[in-house]
Every structure is written in structure tokens, then in C-alpha cells.
Amino acid sequence: MIRLPWLLPDDLEFPPPDQALDDPNGLLAAGGDLSPPRLLAAYRQGIFPWYEDGQPILWWSPDPRTILLPRDVHISRSLRKVLRRGEFMVTADQAFEQVILACAGPRDYAAGTWITDEMAEAYCTLHRLGYAHSIETWRDDVLVGGMYGVAIGRAFFGESMFSHVSNASKVALVHLAGQLAQWDYGLIDCQVETGHLLSMGAINISRAAFQGLLLNYTAAEDEENYSPRRWSLTVTPADFLGSNRD
């Protein structure tokens, strides 16, 4: 039987991430709530919630950690053609609730979703506070792809993405990376590896190395340029296509 530290509603302290279990990888604690102070405290330490309906809130800090350096996003030859053709319009923070609901929708490869109603409302609250952001991909004024996550200082913590047509989520990720590079963000947290993310340039680093990066990048939230705010995209494909190679 797994015995986990139980978080109390009035206590925002987490166990040290290096106490997380090896199996399942990164499971650290249970309980608590999804209030903005707790969520922000968790992300600053490299901890995130992940659970399903019927479970208590579970908190994770896996080792290794998958990250993407914004300036190192890989754009394949086929994706470059899509971006040059301008098949999609891309926006930021224009349809956050639509994006999170789409991310919570049914998937061909999964029977359920970890984005519970409680989880969706918690991130919508973070969005209203200026911490959570969405990137939307549109075709003919229809939302066909996108992603959302949390920004603290110069770190962006990716949470989920969706795609209703081919390349829609990849286009969103490329625009996010290009914008964050322009703003001098240090990393995009991808949490755990997938083939999709690795093909886009994501890498694995140790938990200790990840937390070392967070100490530096989240400290920037005290600077005016990295304070909570609503986002708008200023990057265009021309800003990042010229410097990427296959």
C-alpha cells in the first residue's frame, strides 16, 4: 500500500520534491485543494496536480523532467510549409475556457480525462488572475487546436493541448515557443515525455536540474515584464522560420 503525505486545506507546504516516489514516477502527495495560492506554490517548486474523477487531488514531480527550450523548438520541413502557407490564425488568451474544455474532451487513445470540472475551474481562475494562458489555433474562425499552461516569471508550465485537425496543436506550440523566446523566457515545462514533444525538440533533464532552473526563472516574476497579465501574440512565422533548420 502506498502511503502519501496528506496536504491540509490551510497548509500550503509541500514535501520536498526529492521525496517523490519512483513508482509511480513522481507521485509526491495527496489532498489539499486547487486554490490559486496552492497551485502557484506548487508550480514554483516544479510540482503539478494530476488526478481523475473519484480520486483525491494527487501532486507530482517526476524525474526526469521533460522541458523545451523556447529557442530550440524544432520545426520540421512539412510544418514549415504549413506555417508559410498561413493555413491557421493564431491568437493568445482569446478563448481560454474553450481551449481548456477542448483539452478535456474525449480522445481516441483515452477513455477518460484528467481535466475534471474542478481542475478546469481552478485554471480558469488562474487565467482571470493573469497567470494561466491559452494559445488558440483557428481555421475559418473555428477553433481547431490550442494549448494552455501557467506562466510564472520566465517559466511557462505547459498543461495540455488539443488538435481537431492535423498540425493545429503543433502550430500553437511553435507560436508559443517563438513568443516566449522573443520575451526571453527560459523554458517550457512539458512535465513528461511524449513522442510528439520529443519530435518538437523537447529534452529530458533531472529533477534536480529542473528545480535549479526554476529558482532562476521564477524569481523573475517580481520584474514588471513578467508580472501576471493578459497575453497578446506579437510573433509571426517570419520571426522564427528563418533561423530553424530541419
Residues 54, 73, single domain; the answer is no
Report pLDDT for 111.
Answer: 43
The domain in which residue 109 lies consists of 66-241
Report pLDDT for 189.
Answer: 98
Residues 201, 214, single domain; the answer is yes
Residues 90, 18, single domain; the answer is no
Q: Which three cell numbers stand for residue 129?
A: 488572475
Q: What letter represents residue 164's amino acid?
A: H
User: 1 in a domain, yes or no?
Assistant: no
Report pLDDT for 3.
Answer: 83
Cα–Cα dist 110/62, whole Å: 21
CATH number, domain containing residue 41: 3.30.70.3550
User: 131 in a domain, yes or no?
Assistant: yes
Domain boundary among 62, 80, 108: 62
The count of structural domains within the chain is 2
Residues 132, 39, single domain; the answer is no
Mean pLDDT by runs of 10 across the 246 residues of the chain is 86 96 97 97 97 94 98 96 95 98 72 79 98 98 98 98 96 97 97 94 98 96 92 93 60
**Is the dihedral angle over the CA atoms 241, 242, 245, 246 positive or is it negative?**
positive
Residues 16, 128, single domain; the answer is no
Closest CA to 126 of 103, 105, 101, 96: 96
In tens, the pLDDT along 179-188 reads: 999 999 999 9
User: 205 in a domain, yes or no?
Assistant: yes
Report pLDDT for 110.
Answer: 44
User: 89 in a domain, yes or no?
Assistant: yes
Report pLDDT for 105.
Answer: 83
Residues 29, 141, single domain; the answer is no
Q: Which residues of 226-235 are buried (b: 16+ CB within 10 A; e: fewer)?
A: bebeebebeb
User: 227 in a domain, yes or no?
Assistant: yes
Report pLDDT for 126.
Answer: 98
In tens, the pLDDT along 47-67 reads: 999 999 889 999 999 999 999
CATH number, domain containing residue 231: 3.40.630.70
Report pLDDT for 5.
Answer: 96
User: 12 in a domain, yes or no?
Assistant: yes
Asked if residues 188 and 67 have their Cβ atoms less than 8 Å apart, the reply is: yes
Report pLDDT for 106.
Answer: 66
Residues 24, 134, single domain; the answer is no
Name the DSSP letter for residue 200.
Answer: T
Q: What residues have CB less than 8 Å from 27, skipping those under 6 apart?
A: 2, 4, 20, 21, 58, 59, 60
Report pLDDT for 65.
Answer: 98
